[in-house]
Amino acid sequence: MAEATLSSKNQIVIPREAREALKLKPGDKLLVLVRGGNVLVLQKPKSYHAAIRGLGRGLYPKDYLRKERESWD
């Protein structure tokens, strides 16, 4: 596990292994989420549409949505 240290200017350096795993480049944006006593750092997606595309695939049985839409008519 890599470790980061907070500088006197309140800056941190993302450890090399994390930068390489996320393929981060200078200027990339990161999201920092604070939930209670936990902090989560995520790479900000370049496209939210592309990041969530396909998340709902396979949630419904085959033909469920078609039948549901037909019931609206």
Does pLDDT of 10 surpass 90? yes
Whole-angstrom distance, CA of residue 34 vs CA of residue 15: 20
* Per-residue confidence band for 36, with pLDDT thresholds at 50, 70 and 90: very high
CB 42 within 8 A of CB 53: no
Average pLDDT over residues 14-21: 90
pLDDT of residue 48: 86
Q: Residue 59 pairs with which residues in a beta bridge?
A: none
Dist. CA 69–CA 73, nearest whole Å: 7
Task: Tell me the pLDDT band of 11, cut-offs 50, 70 and 90.
Answer: very high
- Residue 73 pLDDT > 80, yes or no? no
pTM strictly above 0.75: no
- Residue 45 in this model has a pLDDT that exceeds 90: no
